[in-house]
Structure 1
Amino acid sequence: MYIYSSMYIFKKQTFKVLLYLLPLLFQCTACSQSADAYGVYWVVSGTDSPNDVRWGNYLRNHLNRRSENKNIAVSDNPLTDDCLQVMVHVDSLHDYDYSLFRDGDTIRLIARNDAKMLWLIYQFISALGDERVNVSDLPPAIINLNGCEGDFAFEYRGIYSSANSNPELMPITASHNIDYDWGLWGHNLRRVFYDDIPEDAWAQVDGKRIPGQFCFSSNNLYKAIESYVVDNFGEGENEKGAARFVIMPEDDETICSCDLCMKAGNTSKSATPAVSNLLRRLAARFPNHQFFTSAYLSTYTPPTGSLPSNVGVIISAMEVPMQANLSMKSAKIKNFSRMVEQWKKVTNKVYVWDYMRNFDDYLTPYPCLSMIGERLRYFRSLGVSGIIYNGSGTDYASFDDIQTAAVAAMLINPDLHVKSYTASCIHRYYPVSGDILERAYRDWETKACDRKKILPFYGGIEDAVNIWLNPEDFEAFCDTLDKKSKDITDEERVRLNKLLTALQFTRLELQRMPHGNYNPSIVETCLESLKGHTAFDCMHNYREANGSLSRYIDEWKTLKSENEDSHSLLKGVGLKSKYKMDAGYTDLSILTDGLYALPSDYHTGWLIASAEMVNIEVPPGKIRNGLQMGLSFLYAPSWRIYLPESIEVWQSGKCLYKVPLKAGAAKEPFTKHRIQFGLKDIDASQALELHVLQGKGRRPTIACEEIELY
């Protein structure tokens, strides 16, 4: 083999000559054919450099490990007609991040650095996959074995999902995960202090220190961060040792107004000046590490001056709707584009924090891939340099294996034909049941895109039904998939067991739909199956916060009893209101449908109202003196849902009596409260009005479940 001059021009010209000479010098005599049709692969290094030799050995060894024929890849010319030569070369000055050149029976793999070469090698292996080379654990390739070249669309390609939590697989898919490659993430600045936090590290407001928010001009804060970086990550002298750190205020709008911060330029609305000064100081101290802040609350606006090359910003795309056919003329898109452009003026590292889940329901399928492809093309057009997709974290999500593989591929190439690639992923991971899964998932994606509705980042089962999920079709899909799974073994059976267990959650949610066909038998079957979640380490939670599946199952046991023991005289009786109800909550029939709600979910079964006084009219016919009336309310302060202050009973324009409510000390983040009172002094021939009064001095929001009469 040849050794090149250190001069780039000579090296590049010489290598181009070699790309064409080597096939002539070492060419096998077989005719050109598809790459997976060869009996043996002759793997050679592109140069004699130790790095090329290492990568040649790597590719050869891993091809042999994945084949029952341990000599499917060789280092010497096998002198056979059934041979494909594969040359491997790393060139930091290559025109593209990766290239694959095909010339007859020779393929040349070229990448700019080791990380991209590792990805390219596994792309090549994945593309070769057949009955001889096992690639069942690898996502389908996006390269073309007849020739391709390109650059990765984004320098940072983060996916925060359980399917992307294997540190050995992440380099293979060229993806990142914030739990593995960030030295400091989110609102975790407190962890840089090993002991008590010094008083001057806290923000000062009106002359007083406020524990909970930081003073970013504090020298003690700088020293704590410096020690934390050195102790845990060193100086980051090389690419492997470098790390990323997020330096941002705590999750509130408090801004330090001490003399140093005001001198830096802080205002009552912006902490950006002091935060930026700290970032500049850290960037100079650690030139090999990268430091980021976020465009959020008090650091929403960019600084006035340029930031160092190793300082960047993370911008949330929460306001960009998860919707097909994004309108570039919409106010939200314009605002987001404007923010990115403003930050690009001060830094060349603009990362976007985007979303790929319904964070109130990880287990109901969420058909977002076509929309994510569109979003990525939009972010690329803005010049964004990094993307972080917030998925289900360490928790399982239905179809997460498929969606994570597809998102990883689109982060490299947003122009990927997502429907075809998704189908390839499904059949790769589910070779026996793939047809069933592909039909269902394709249908969900098609409906979600065609209906042009917004997929919620926080939503309930009714959102899914309104946008993409047909309850009858879903039941049939689950039954068909379950029957098919009985005949499947190995890794596919493991994947299907997880998926089928998770889908029981969706079936239960469909049973909670107002006016749905509640079926106690289906509920019992699903609850029994969902108990199997304990067999999977990653399936303890079904949502982002307070989402224990064990608790959900316990709540369902109570709910099942409530539904089956409902004997209210008002069941099925229509109610009215004289006043305007909240948008989306005008159907008062859910208050008398005999179907109860879970306290842990305000989306389904609860009537939400924000007026200071909610009027509910009960028609005559059922009411009479001596009966008991009961109302159920949700108390969840973290969701800003409170109990009403009182309920007044009115008839014929006169208040008969008033019933006060008290929340008491809540031990749980959400609880259900029932109030019951007897009817007296009632004229049975006249309608009865209930005036539900909210308390003063807070945002008025109540959630009512059922109105009962016994």
Structure 2
Amino acid sequence: MFRMMQSLLFILTMLSCQSTVSRIDLKKHVIVLPAEATKNELHAGSVLQDYVQRIAGVTLPVIKENGYQKNQAAIFVGNTEHSAALGKLKGEGFLIAADTRDVYIKGGSGKGVVYGVYTLIEKYFGARKYAEGPAWVPGTKELSVPQHLMDRQEPLLVYRETYYPAAFDNEYLEWHKLHRFEDLWGVWGHSFFKIVPPKTYFSAHPEYYALVDGKRQATQLCLSNEGVFNVTVDYLRKAIADNPDALYWSVAAEDGGGFCTCDLCSKVNKEEGSASGSLIRFINRVAAKFPDQHFTTLAYTYTAKAPQQTKPASNVYIMLSSIDAYRQEPLSTIPSAAEFRKNLESWGALTDHLFVWDYTTQFTNYLAPFPDYNNLQPNLQYITAHKVQGVFSQGSGDTYGDMGPYNAYLQAKLLWDPAADVAVLTKDFFKGYYGNAGTAMLEYVNALGENKAQLDIYGNPVASAKNYLSPAAIDKYSTILDKAEAAASGEYVKRVYNARLGLEYCVLQQSRFYGTDKYGFLQPSGDGFVVNPRWPERVKKFVAQCKEAGVKELSEGGASPDAYQQEWDTIFSKKWVNSLAYNAKVSLVNPPSDEYPAKREITLTDGLLGTKDFSINWLFIYGKDLVATIDLGAEKTVNKVQVNFLHDPRHYIFTPAMITVETSADGVNFTTAGTQQTPSIADEDYTTRINTFQFSLPAVRARYVRVRGQCQAAVPGWRGAPPTKRPSVCADEVYVF
């Protein structure tokens, strides 16, 4: 046996250099597994047998090595004695090798051997797995590999996850060598309240939770409290016993602010120069109780900055977030990622155990075109050059989003090999996934990729309506997709339709913004406006296609297609109201947010009502009062004033503490016409709602109407916010009758 292995090594080393390569026909081979095959080796053998049958129409016998006869041509799968001379592989790496007759597929740890089999099926047999669902197999019946083959692959990253619908397909994960956090983590992500749930402990032990504004709040944990440490250890001891196969356990802050400011936590964070100080000291203590386990924690917003003194323990992994970066340029250069780059360097100086939580979708509008595709490779190459060992690339999750199949496919390939040829991968994907429509679909993606405007993961189609998602740009993209539809047939037509959903969504959302103007959903009728009769059918068709494509929600935690239909039905049912203030000039003391400008001051008098989406048709003022003066153009009789304010605590938008209406004949001297105090927001309530305030002004003569909305003094403690975060005011249409 030893001489046989030496001979194998010699053949593979010397003959692989020959320029003339013959091929090995595999249709009469047997699949040989180790005598004591592992679960993954058995699975790999079964997968190989299945795909050989699908491609070549033959069923190769699967036998154990102790029953193998040396005269049999074989494909040795796993750690067989025949492949022992090929050596060991790092991590989940694999090796595909061949001499003049036999083939050897050997894996490292985990599913390495399974990855090797799927690579043989794709790279050498020509099959493809472009998305979820059945793989595509060639009809050539060809089944061969080159003689003297030596294909060794070892990943740079120990954790690789792309988060799109395709990644919920188990075979897609194995085919593309991906992970799923549910399979690796016993507890994942923001986990403080999974470990120490407020419903269980807050009433009896408020001291377990953060001290915010002098009051204990269920926003984060108090990490200096010994009871929190004891509960955490007890929880993990039981959880680990219940799930001994989990590789990682997350002990990480909740999403949001409200971190503890008690004396002990503050003292530690001051010593460390970062709120991550108390976090790392805490998780290090926890990790010391379970030295054989691996723990992860989030370097995210308030804890993104590395501590100055304490290093993470050897079994603690830091998962750094890139959430604050815009996406139109690579992370390595874009100014908005400067802090991320600094934090990446700082954490890298403390530990070799770094993961990155990255983002490749617009969470507020999953369907909106988000052309960051050209930055996927430079971002991964930059990250992997800085000691990063794992990447969670968060897309739209299990709901269909902008170019989801392409995003998932390209990310999967790059997570395994950041140096892969993107042009080759892209050409292959568009040809295979869209058939004859592939050329036009690639043209569409390239046209989107020319965008240089800001890409915000919390942006919206309205904010981009003056650049890459302008009506003119959408028409240009639509023309390209028309070519794609004309070229497609069968299943490929549906795929083009799905890709087109993003443009249609933008048109619909922007039509709410344009309203009575060109591109709006309203059209003139008499002295007012009515719904364009084509719009209800257009919405209905869009919703049906969403369901066909697998759209479950249109934003993170947002509306389902049915709920979106209901939103539009409500809009369609409301009669357009013509008030004395329609299109009246408005002057503001405090300017609207540049991030969510809507139509700036005219938002209050454009005749359009906002919905629960704060990014459309709401005058968004950050951290200051609304003080809006409306010029009616001439002195008129005013009987009633009505104004809407949005209450959306998840986005730090709160109903003003007090609303006041004043009137004036000359714009200088104002008389208070009414004041309404709003209820306290001291109690936790995350309900999003639109609050309408009406003021009766019987027969007041006025040319100017001023509306004041007093911004809340601070974000309530229960919401949890970074120290610098201020509440916002969102005002909508001011009706004057």
The offset of 1:278, in angstroms, is 4.6
Q: State the distance in 2 between where 1:139 and 1:594 align.
A: 53
- Residue 607 of structure 1 corresponds to 619
- 1:402-425 CA distance string (max 9 Å, x none): 211211111122233335423422
Percent of residue pairs bearing the same amino acid type: 17
Q: State the distance in 1 between where 2:639 and 2:239 align.
A: 69
Question: Is residue 527 of structure 1 aligned with residue 534 of structure 2?
Answer: no
What stretches of structure 1 of length at least 5 have no aligned partner? 6-10
CA RMSD of aligned residues (A): 4.8
Question: Is residue 62 of structure 1 aligned with residue 74 of structure 2?
Answer: no
Aligned ranges for residues 278-289 of structure 1 at < 5 Å? 278-289=282-293
Q: Is the 8 A contact 1:157 1:176 kept in 2?
A: yes
- Residue 214 of structure 1 corresponds to 221
- Residue 93 of structure 1 corresponds to 88
- Residue 645 of structure 1 corresponds to 659
Q: How many residues align?
A: 674
Q: Is the 8 A contact 1:158 1:178 kept in 2?
A: yes
AA matched with 1:510: Q
Aligned ranges for residues 130-279 of structure 1 at < 5 Å? 137-138=134-135, 149-192=152-195, 196-197=200-201, 199=205, 202-203=208-209, 213-216=220-223, 221-222=228-229, 224-234=231-241, 241-250=245-254, 251-255=256-260, 272=276, 275-279=279-283
Q: State the distance in 1 between where 2:229 and 2:639 align.
A: 68
Question: Is residue 19 of structure 1 aligned with residue 25 of structure 2?
Answer: no
User: Which shows bigger deviation, 628-637 or 44-53?
Assistant: 44-53
The offset of 1:545, in angstroms, is 3.0
The offset of 1:361, in angstroms, is 0.7
AA matched with 2:108: R
Q: State the distance in 1 between where 2:74 and 2:130 align.
A: 18
- 1:456-511 CA distance string (max 9 Å, x none): 110111234345332323555666667777x524xx57756765667653342132
SS in 2 for 1:385: strand
AA matched with 2:564: Y
Change in CA separation of 1:104 and 1:497 when aligned onto 2, cut-off 3 Å:
farther
SS in 1 for 2:646: strand
Q: State the distance in 2 between where 1:667 and 1:347 align.
A: 38
Question: Is residue 655 of structure 1 aligned with residue 670 of structure 2?
Answer: yes
Q: State the distance in 2 between where 1:511 and 1:329 align.
A: 32
User: Which shows bigger deviation, 46-55 or 316-325?
Assistant: 46-55
- Residue 710 of structure 2 corresponds to 694
Q: State the distance in 2 between where 1:376 and 1:335 align.
A: 17
Aligned ranges for residues 23-38 of structure 1 at < 5 Å? 32=21
Q: State the distance in 2 between where 1:356 and 1:703 align.
A: 28
AA matched with 1:508: L
Change in CA separation of 1:633 and 1:61 when aligned onto 2, cut-off 3 Å:
same
Q: Is the 8 A contact 2:27 2:56 kept in 1?
A: no
Q: Is the 8 A contact 1:612 1:693 kept in 2?
A: yes
Change in CA separation of 1:463 and 1:447 when aligned onto 2, cut-off 3 Å:
farther
SS in 1 for 2:119: helix
2:731 to 691, 697, 704: 704
The offset of 1:344, in angstroms, is 2.5
Change in CA separation of 1:231 and 1:691 when aligned onto 2, cut-off 3 Å:
closer
- 1:258-289 CA distance string (max 9 Å, x none): 87x79988869756555445534443443442
- Residue 114 of structure 2 corresponds to 118
AA matched with 2:402: S
- Residue 645 of structure 2 corresponds to 633
Change in CA separation of 1:634 and 1:183 when aligned onto 2, cut-off 3 Å:
same
2:633 to 599, 602, 620: 620
The offset of 1:178, in angstroms, is 2.3
Provide the TM-score with structure 1 as the length reference. 0.78
Q: State the distance in 2 between where 1:192 and 1:411 align.
A: 31
User: Which shows bigger deviation, 204-213 or 606-615?
Assistant: 204-213
Change in CA separation of 1:533 and 1:673 when aligned onto 2, cut-off 3 Å:
farther
AA matched with 1:650: S
AA matched with 1:647: V
1:395 to 387, 396, 399: 399
User: Which shows bigger deviation, 203-212 or 465-474?
Assistant: 203-212
Q: Is the 8 A contact 1:607 1:703 kept in 2?
A: yes
SS in 1 for 2:594: coil
SS in 2 for 1:597: coil
Change in CA separation of 1:703 and 1:525 when aligned onto 2, cut-off 3 Å:
same
The offset of 1:359, in angstroms, is 0.8
- Residue 355 of structure 1 corresponds to 359
The offset of 1:401, in angstroms, is 2.2
Aligned ranges for residues 327-342 of structure 1 at < 5 Å? 328=333, 330=335, 332-342=336-346
SS in 2 for 1:294: strand
What stretches of structure 2 of length at least 5 have no aligned partner? 139-144, 522-531, 715-725
- Residue 405 of structure 1 corresponds to 409
Provide the TM-score with structure 2 as the length reference. 0.76
Question: Is residue 565 of structure 1 aligned with residue 576 of structure 2?
Answer: yes
Change in CA separation of 1:393 and 1:134 when aligned onto 2, cut-off 3 Å:
closer
- Residue 324 of structure 1 corresponds to 329
The offset of 1:637, in angstroms, is 3.6
- Residue 518 of structure 1 corresponds to 520
Q: Is the 8 A contact 2:158 2:390 kept in 1?
A: yes
